[in-house]
Amino acid sequence: MTNPIEITRILFEDFQPQTIHLFYAFGYSAIAIFIYGTYTQIRKYRRGKDDGSWGELLHRFWDMAKTMGSHRTLVRRDKKAGRAHGLIFFGFVLLFIGTSTITLEYDILEPLFGIKFWYGNFYLWFSLVLDIAGFGLILGLIYMMYRRKWLNLPKLSYARLDRQPGDPDFDRPQYRREDWAFLWSFILIGITGFVLEATRLVWLSGRPSVWDYRMWSPIGAALAHLMQGLGMTSEGASAFRPSLWWFHGLLSLTFIALIPRTKIKHIFTAAASLMFKDPLAGRRLPRVPDDQKNAGYKAITDLTWKNLLHLDACTKCGRCQEACPANAVGAPLSPRDVILSLREFANNALNKKELPKEAELDIHGKDVGQVFMETLWSCRTCLACVEICPVAVEHVPIIVQMRRHLVEQGEMEPLLEKTLQTIHKSGNSFGESKRKRAAWAKDLSFEIKDARLDPVDILWFVGDYASFDPRNQKVTQAFAKLMNAAGVDFGLLFEGEMNAGNDVRRVGEEGLYEYLATSNIQSLSDCDFNSIVTTDPHSYNTIRNEYPDFGGSYEIQHYSTVVKKLLEDGKLKLKKKLDYRVTFHDPCHLGRFNKGYDAPRDIIKMLGCDLVDMGRNRDNSFCCGAGGGRIWIPDPVGTVKPSQNRMNEAGTIEGLQVFVVSCPKDLTMFEDALKTSGYEGKFIVRELIELIDECMDYPEEILEKEVVAEIE
């Protein structure tokens, strides 16, 4: 039996002292380069504006650790890549801990305190774990190489929709080179590590304390046997070892030195980005301080340090681009490229010792690294990008901040400008008289309470589309009948209600938003009610998440939750069941924004319908194209609209009868798309309220029903 103290690896065995010193010199230089690089990165972030995300650091750290530990965000919608990354990540972490353990003993504990632990059983287990880790690392890297080379994934292409071939930043070959350099150097470090291990085994095959325990490093042992089989002797191994040792060592040190300057830095930036993640990103947009002269982002230095950090966290995985509805229909927008353009801009402008002149910091324009206004206006603020980003990049707040600048400059579509002026003048986007807001209620056989005069249990915030759009007014009336039939004590604000401002804010007209929000909060504060209900997910989002910043905290529910409860409590009774085959489109502002995925589906099932989800559902729902104020900006003629893209998806469901929506804008967008994409007569678009209405049996009928008649 060998003495456990001998079962170890003798570091720098057979090395000349000068050689060891030389190696240390390289090591310290690598660390110095690393530290300087880190310093320049931190200096870059510090050139951004303040951000209030410093609170609850422990909690944030724990959340980040859980996300990284579970690799939850990485396996989402791309299991294979996520798992391969897991192998690389955990492999790397273990190898890093391993190396640090050696340093801990060799450079700190032993010279200072004479403590040694890296021998015997500990050493053997250590070898085994690291062997497995290294093997996983290499497997993961091989899969990633295969994926990049042979899978031809569109999301990994760097060609851009917002640039033309021939433009200097069209497909950015330097990114491809960096990707491959990264993969090759990483895998070479792994492979040379194993070969080195095997060479040592062959070299010391005569020493029982090494050779007898070789199976604790199984990969190394297998390689050693292979090398012996190929005729390598102990002397041969001894001669071959030094050059390989240096190659492996220098490559590893270069790798470390370059972390802050290359994509490898995502190890740190992604972790930090996850840690400073804002759970309300995009749902609650940042306020513009009252004393700030100009709203929005004009210069790169207008971004907060957190924004700048997000830019560096992006790993170019392309998942956001893949989920982006604007990108899917060929609009000149990829959320990834917005982030990467700004990152390049920041690296050019903010990594220098001195900050360049003001004029050179402008992030809007047509130059390399600048973002086109067409790009910014293409965004639907649907949050698909923010939702899927594995490293918590928050694209939408940056896009909206940049739009705020465009709005101040008046750089927007004339039609959008008109709409904003109309909203300012009349309080609604339809340019209708305030007096007409509740005109739809006139046709009802019962009176709706005026919440400004009488206390009510539930205040119904109707929203513009549900109030003024003739098609949606029918739904609005149907909902009023439902509430009335269920005996709910509810009322309206009548002309006291204004456009809730959700989309105005997402357009970037912050001043108008503040005006609308504060006016509505004023109206609401004059009423006596317990909670708010709305059929409009856009109003729902801003009242729920953004009004609190302006002093209006209310309990608000989307109608689906309210109706579900009324049905469960038996306050609403279904007089018949429906047997339609239906699919459900999650509205962005109800689903992704506020996680209201289940209530509408539960109701659909209660109605007896056969619900078949589309491929892109729930958090991966595909925006109808109307978000972010795009409902006021016409899509270019001749292109497929996001709503048509969605219709085509629904069209693949066999025997589909009804495409169910639960958002007024969705009803408008999809009824239009149904016609323009050729599905008219195949299935119909209905608001969920209309389906519920179909199952009701009111004593007096006010509205004709067309639903049944139209289904073949």
Please give the residue ranges that form the binding site for another protein (CB under 8 A): 288, 293, 295, 407-410, 412, 417, 420-421, 424-426, 432-433, 435-436, 509-512, 514-515
Task: Please name the helix (run of DSSP H) or strand (run of DSSP E) that holds residue 25, with its range, or none.
Answer: helix 17-46
Neighbours of 605 (CB within 10 A): 11
User: Binding string, 339-368, against ligand SF4, x = CB under 6 A?
Assistant: x-----------------------------
Integer angstrom CA distances of residue 266 from 159, 390, 603: 22, 12, 44
- Tokens 């205040």: give the residue: 459
Minimum CB separation of residue 297 from ligand SF4 in Å reads: 16
Residues 401 and 345 sit within 8 Å (Cβ to Cβ): no
Site for ligand SF4, residues 633 to 692, rule: CB under 6 A: none
Residue 157 or 421 with smaller CB distance to another protein: 421
Residue 162 or 464 with smaller CB distance to another protein: 464
Should residue 506 be labelled a site residue for ligand SF4 when binding is judged by CB under 6 A?
no
Should residue 335 be labelled a site residue for ligand SF4 when binding is judged by CB under 6 A?
yes
From another protein, ligand SF4, none, interface partner of 138 (C-beta below 5 to 8 A by class)? none
Nearest to 583 by CA among 671, 652, 534, 641: 652
From another protein, ligand SF4, none, interface partner of 413 (C-beta below 5 to 8 A by class)? none
What is 598-661 written as a DSSP string? HHHHHHHHHTT-EE---SS-GGG----S-GGGGGGSPPPTTS--HHHHHHHHHHTSTT--EEEE
Residue 348 or 422 with smaller CB distance to another protein: 422
Residue 212 or 706 with smaller CB distance to another protein: 706
From ligand SF4, another protein, none, interface partner of 396 (C-beta below 5 to 8 A by class)? ligand SF4
Should residue 385 be labelled a site residue for ligand SF4 when binding is judged by CB under 6 A?
yes
Residue 516 or 582 with smaller CB distance to another protein: 516
Should residue 391 be labelled a site residue for ligand SF4 when binding is judged by CB under 6 A?
yes
What is 179-241 written as a DSSP string? HHHHHHHHHHHHHHHHHHHHHHHHHTTT-HHHHTTGGGSHHHHHHHHHHHHTT--HHHHHHHH
Minimum CB separation of residue 324 from ligand SF4 in Å reads: 3
Residue 405 or 437 with smaller CB distance to ligand SF4: 405
Should residue 382 be labelled a site residue for ligand SF4 when binding is judged by CB under 6 A?
yes
Residues that contact ligand SF4, how many (by CB under 6 A): 30
Residue 246 or 515 with smaller CB distance to another protein: 515
- Tokens 């079962």: give the residue: 7
Minimum CB separation of residue 712 from another protein in Å reads: 17
Minimum CB separation of residue 510 from another protein in Å reads: 6
Residues 6+ apart with CB under 8 A from 567: 574, 603, 606
Should residue 508 be labelled a site residue for ligand SF4 when binding is judged by CB under 6 A?
no
- Residue 469 tokens read as 């759009």
Residue 106 or 515 with smaller CB distance to another protein: 515
Site for ligand SF4, residues 565 to 624, rule: CB under 6 A: 623
From ligand SF4, another protein, none, interface partner of 389 (C-beta below 5 to 8 A by class)? ligand SF4
Integer angstrom CA distances of residue 482 from 147, 263, 566: 53, 56, 10
Residues 582 and 612 sit within 8 Å (Cβ to Cβ): yes
From ligand SF4, another protein, none, interface partner of 141 (C-beta below 5 to 8 A by class)? none
Residue 391 or 480 with smaller CB distance to ligand SF4: 391
Minimum CB separation of residue 385 from ligand SF4 in Å reads: 3
Residue 81 or 448 with smaller CB distance to ligand SF4: 81
Integer angstrom CA distances of residue 12 from 15, 130, 219, 245: 5, 19, 22, 10
From ligand SF4, another protein, none, interface partner of 408 (C-beta below 5 to 8 A by class)? another protein
Site for ligand SF4, residues 283 to 322, rule: CB under 6 A: 314-320
From another protein, ligand SF4, none, interface partner of 512 (C-beta below 5 to 8 A by class)? another protein
Minimum CB separation of residue 77 from ligand SF4 in Å reads: 10
Should residue 404 be labelled a site residue for ligand SF4 when binding is judged by CB under 6 A?
no
From another protein, ligand SF4, none, interface partner of 509 (C-beta below 5 to 8 A by class)? another protein
- Tokens 């309220």: give the residue: 689
Interface residue with ligand SF4, options 85, 277, 336, 686 (CB under 6 A): 336
Residue 306 or 474 with smaller CB distance to ligand SF4: 306
In SS3 terms, 434-466 reads as HHHCCHHHHHCCCCCEECCCCCCCEEECCCHHH
Which part of the chain contacts ligand SF4 (CB under 6 A), choosing from 23-31, 34-42, 373-381, 662-670? 373-381
Residue 296 φ/ψ, nearest 5 degrees: 85, 180
Minimum CB separation of residue 414 from another protein in Å reads: 8
From CA 350, how far away is CA 40, in angstroms rounded? Answer: 9
- Residue 75 tokens read as 């396996």
From CA 96, how far away is CA 386, in angstroms rounded? Answer: 31
Residues 475 and 466 sit within 8 Å (Cβ to Cβ): yes
From another protein, ligand SF4, none, interface partner of 537 (C-beta below 5 to 8 A by class)? none
- Residue 24 tokens read as 């240390």
From CA 270, how far away is CA 255, in angstroms rounded? Answer: 18
From ligand SF4, another protein, none, interface partner of 271 (C-beta below 5 to 8 A by class)? none
Which part of the chain contacts ligand SF4 (CB under 6 A), choosing from 30-38, 297-305, 333-341, 462-470? 333-341
From ligand SF4, another protein, none, interface partner of 514 (C-beta below 5 to 8 A by class)? another protein
Kindly give the pairing relationship between strand 581-584 and strand 531-534: unpaired
From CA 653, how far away is CA 121, in angstroms rounded? Answer: 60
Residues 698 and 485 sit within 8 Å (Cβ to Cβ): yes
From another protein, ligand SF4, none, interface partner of 412 (C-beta below 5 to 8 A by class)? another protein
Residue 72 or 573 with smaller CB distance to ligand SF4: 72
Nearest to 453 by CA among 350, 538, 527, 562: 527
Helix, strand, coil tally for the chain in percent (to 5)? 60, 5, 35
Task: Please name the helix (run of DSSP H) or strand (run of DSSP E) that holds residue 98, with its range, or none.
Answer: helix 79-103
Residues 520 and 550 sit within 8 Å (Cβ to Cβ): no
Q: Which residues bind ligand SF4 (CB under 6 A)?
A: 314-320, 323-326, 333, 335-336, 339, 379-385, 388-391, 393, 395-396, 623
